[in-house]
Structure 1
Amino acid sequence: MTTPVQSIIPNIHEILDLCAGKSLYTTLDFQQGFHQIPVEPTHCARTAFACHLGVFEYIRMPMGLKGSPGTFQRVMNAMIKEMQARVFVYVDDMVLTSETAEQHLKDVEEVLDKIEKSGMKLRPEKCKFAATEIHYLGFVLSKSGIRPNPEKTRAIDQYPTPRTVKQVRAFIGMSGFYRRFIANFSKIAAPILDLTRKDFPFEWTEECKQGFEELKAALTSNPILVAPKLGKPFVIEVDSSGKGVGAVLLQAQDEEGKDLRVIAYASRVYTGAETRYPAIELEALGLVYAVKQFRPYIDGAKTLIITDHAPLKALLHRKDLIGRMGKYQIVLQDFDVQIEYRPGKDNVVCDTLSRYHPRPEEEKNDTAPTVAAIMGINIDLEKVQEEQKADKKISDTKKHHPEV
């Protein structure tokens, strides 16, 4: 038995979104990281194990204990707590990001000084300094954005045709890790996922083969997603068809707002009950699904939702809605959104996402697991103070209320 350590392990995609799009990166790898944490001497006996050489006890924290990842994450967080806007850690993987060489050199020097004072050691051959592109947590980060690690996708591309349920689950697990890069992932994978269902005959059909090859092709085409610019407006294109809902999160990369780039895709098929909803409720369901899926990005930011269903333009403002539509309205009012109508022929991506690869049977748990976490913005306190001084309303408030 080990005592659980209350330490939140960061969300991988949150770290990636905050790191991507920078000019310079440094990655640091700790030498047998867990083993650098000593075990409380009075507790060493609890780690005892026997083998053919005798009975041994750990005097350093081993891998495999329930509290090991949380403990190491807590140590790392304490080490970099003053640099959390520039340094990110996922257990024993540390990355530093900067926009200028001068700032990067300063940050690297400060981090190395903290590591030296803590008594921890790095593995030099695994560290990478001042790189313009890095491999991190299974992805490639650079100034242009985020893309899957080619070494990982190569393994997916070379994966043989599954012959057992176990092999199907392994393939879906590997490809599902990169689902945010794949438009319409849940529907493409639906025929393959059917093979894992209880009492479902294992038959590799032409539809399974097609989905298998399309998932491979989608990942080996070197897709790139841009990093979100927090605080800037977002655009969500969403469409619901008779089979499912598709959504795309975009953001302008220029000041004019014309160069829209993809940040993430999301899609799912309807459940059996949802297929019987009226058309307007299906379209509203699509909006609610999209804002929930992209909540870590759009929470607190102005967002334009584009739909091909004109009646939804009034969804936010009608006062007579009840039942399911009333619930959808309440969900949407949590966000700073506007709804704009655009004909389906002009909303090509989402229209395709929602219609592609129809699935005749009910699907359950077709979306990725949702983690109850808040996306950190990593605010620079000095920058906040400067902006407050420049803000007229805040200055007037401080003038009349000096105690604030």
Structure 2
Amino acid sequence: MDLPPSSYHDSLEELWDEEEEPEEVETMMKVVLSASHQYLDVFSKVKEEKLPPHRTCDHHIKLEGSLPPKGFIWPSSSSKGAPVLFVKKKDGGLCLCVYYHKLNAITRKNKYPVPLINQLLTALNFSAIFSKIYLCGAYNLLIIQEGDEHLTAFRTKYGSYEYLVIPFGLTNAPASFQNLVNDIFYYLLDIYAVVYLDEIMGFSKSEEEHVTHVSTVLSRLRANNLLSKASKCLSHVSSVDYLGYIVPSEDLKMDQQKVQQILNWPPPINLKALQSFLGFANFYRCFINNYTKKNSSLTSFIKKDSCFPLNGEDISQLHQLKEAFTTAPILLYPPLWRPMHPIIPWVLY
């Protein structure tokens, strides 16, 4: 049921802070209005600050070779704890990160699969309208299973603390979170929605059915107490960036911002810098014909454990590889009756 004008205005005030720019508010308004007034609570900043409820898939930390807990360790009073550091976010803020390297090393790995990107993109085949929804807080939307909280203890100069929700940097966090969203959207997956961790993509063939599809997605979020940030959402668009790709209705393209990063990448001065460049470039390898041949010299340089700086032949191949990204073709979706090759997708030259 739609809200009356006065209630609608009051509800909108929960969606943004006073400090946010007018452009951000306008973006939020577009998403909210397209979603219908009845789903305003899905974008509530007030609810975003509350602790999420316990779920059937609360995150459980199983230690390798561990015995059943004996109750000898009290939360927040352990003599051990992980160190912390701050990482700068894109918006200029700081993100608290806990270095869980030691804990992760002795934690049994959860084998729950995170979707392959090419499989998700195939589901968007021949869709015309898209909406992208980001979940607020991502891993923080899932509570740590009761009794495991003390394992997340970390130290600061103000004392020791432990998490009640999944923190970033904890092994198995992606598996637990993907399990959650797959359960919530089980009957929608690959029909008119795909979900990769905290990023939901709704897709439809027509504007009319897309309204219904988006409403169904939002109703599932509300029913499971999951919240979205309106300023990061896109609603009812014909082209959208998703998981590093530009997704129109019939083909795939590289994100030009990422291509520009490749072109502006300085010549690597050490092994780590070269590995970083090749790792970044490998993401778009499916767009480059004979990619392995084009970077063979650079790959061999790593295998041979050669000394830096790069020699003339390696520098030449580096420039040729960068040039290949400026002339790369777009990718076509394969016909629905023919499966896409896992490594070499269909290409339009």
The verdict on a shared fold, with TM-score over 0.5 as the criterion, is yes
CA-CA distance at 1:20 after TM superposition? 4.6
Residues 139 and 197 (structure 1), Cα distance of their counterparts in 2 relative to 1, 3 Å cut? same
Q: Secondary structure at the match of 1:147?
A: strand
CA contact under 8 A between 1:45 and 1:57: conserved in structure 2? Answer: yes
Change in Cα spacing, 1:111 to 1:249, as seen in structure 2 (3 Å) is closer
**Distance of aligned partners of 1:234 and 1:50 in 2 relative to their CA distance in 1, 3 Å threshold:** closer
2:191 equivalent to 1:69: no
What is the identity, as a one-letter code, of the residue corresponding to 1:209? I
Counterpart selection for 1:97 from 203, 215, 237: 203
Structure 2 residue 144 is matched with structure 1 residue 39: yes
3-state DSSP of counterpart to 1:173: helix
Task: Go from structure 1 to structure 2 and tell me whether the alpha carbon gap of 1:114 and 1:233 turns closer, same or farther (over 3 Å shift).
Answer: closer
Cα distance change of structure 1 residues 44 and 201 upon mapping to structure 2, 3 Å threshold: closer
Aligned residue for 1:213? 319
Aligned counterpart, 1:173:
279
- The counterpart of 1:132, out of the listed 238, 249, 253, is 238
**Offset of residue 206 of structure 1:** 3.4
> How big is the shift at 1:234?
8.3
Give yes or no for contact 1:115–1:121 (8 Å, CA) kept in 2.
Answer: yes
**Contact 1:50 1:56 (C-alpha < 8 Å) held by counterparts:** yes
Q: Quote the Cα distance in structure 2 between the aligned partners of 1:221 and 1:149.
A: 14
Contact kept? 2:286, 2:344, Cα under 8 Å: no
- For the 8 Å contact 2:152–2:162, the answer to whether it is kept is yes
- Confirm or deny that 1:123 pairs with 2:229: yes
The change in CA–CA distance for 1:146 and 1:168 in structure 2 (over 3 A counts) is same
State the structure with bigger RCO (CA 8 A, min sep 6), 1 or 2. Answer: 2
Deviation of residue 218 (structure 1)? 1.9
Aligned counterpart, 2:161: 56
Work out the CA distance in 2 between the residues paired with 1:249 and 1:52.
Answer: 52
Counterpart residue identity of residue 99, structure 1: K
Cα deviations by residue, 1:239-277 (Å, 9 ceiling, x for unpaired): xxxxxxxx9664xxxxxxxxxxx27xxxxxxxxxxxxxx
Say whether residues 1:114 and 2:220 are aligned partners: yes
**C-alpha distance in 2 between matches for 1:121 and 1:234:** 34
How big is each residue's C-alpha offset from its partner over 1:339-392, in whole Å with a ceiling of 9 and x where there is no partner?
A: xxxxxxxxxx9xxxxxxxxxxxxxxxxxxxxxxxxxxxxxxxxxxxxxxxxxxx
User: Once the two structures are superposed, what CA deviation does each residue of 1:308-330 show, in whole Å capped at 9, x if it has no partner?
Assistant: xxxxxxxxxxxxxxxxxxxxxxx
> How far apart are 1:90 and its partner, in Å?
1.1
Corresponding pairs, count: 242
TM-aligned CA deviation for residue 190 of structure 1: 0.7
Which residue in 2 is equivalent to 1:87? 193
Check the 8 A contact 1:23/1:142 in 2, yes or no.
yes
SS in 1 for 2:231: helix
Aligned twin of 1:320: none
The structural deviation recorded for 1:233 is 8.5
Matched ranges for 1:289-308 at <5 A: none
Q: Which amino acid aligns with 2:185?
A: I
TM-score normalised by length of structure 1: 0.56
The one-letter code of the counterpart of 1:53 is Y
Q: Report the TM-score, using the length of structure 2 for normalisation.
A: 0.65
| 1:88–1:94 CA contact under 8 A, matched in 2 | yes
Matched letter for residue 187 of structure 1: K
Q: Call closer, same or farther: CA 1:113–1:169 in 2, change over 3 Å.
A: same
1:24 is aligned to 129
- Give the secondary-structure state (helix, strand or coil) at the position aligned to 1:83: coil
Report whether the alignment pairs 1:5 with 2:91.
no
Tell which structure's C-alpha radius of gyration is larger: 1
Q: Distance between the aligned counterparts of 1:175 and 1:20, measured in 2?
A: 25
Structure 2 Cα separation of the partners of residues 80 and 107 of structure 1? 12
Counterpart-to-counterpart distance in 2, 1:143 and 1:210: 37
Matching residue's letter, 2:129:
L
Name the SS of the counterpart of 2:203 in structure 1: strand
Query: Which residue pairs with 1:243 in the alignment?
Result: none
Q: Which runs of 5+ in 1 are unaligned?
A: 236-246, 251-261, 264-348, 350-404
Return closer, same or farther for 1:233/1:44 CA change in 2, 3 Å cut-off: closer
Query: In structure 2, what is the Cα distance between the partners aligned to 1:162 and 1:6?
Result: 35
| 1:203 shift after superposition | 5.4
Cα distance in 1 for partners of 2:215, 2:324 equals: 40
What CA RMSD, in Å, does the superposition of the two structures yield over aligned residues? 2.2
SS of structure 1 residue aligned to 2:228: coil
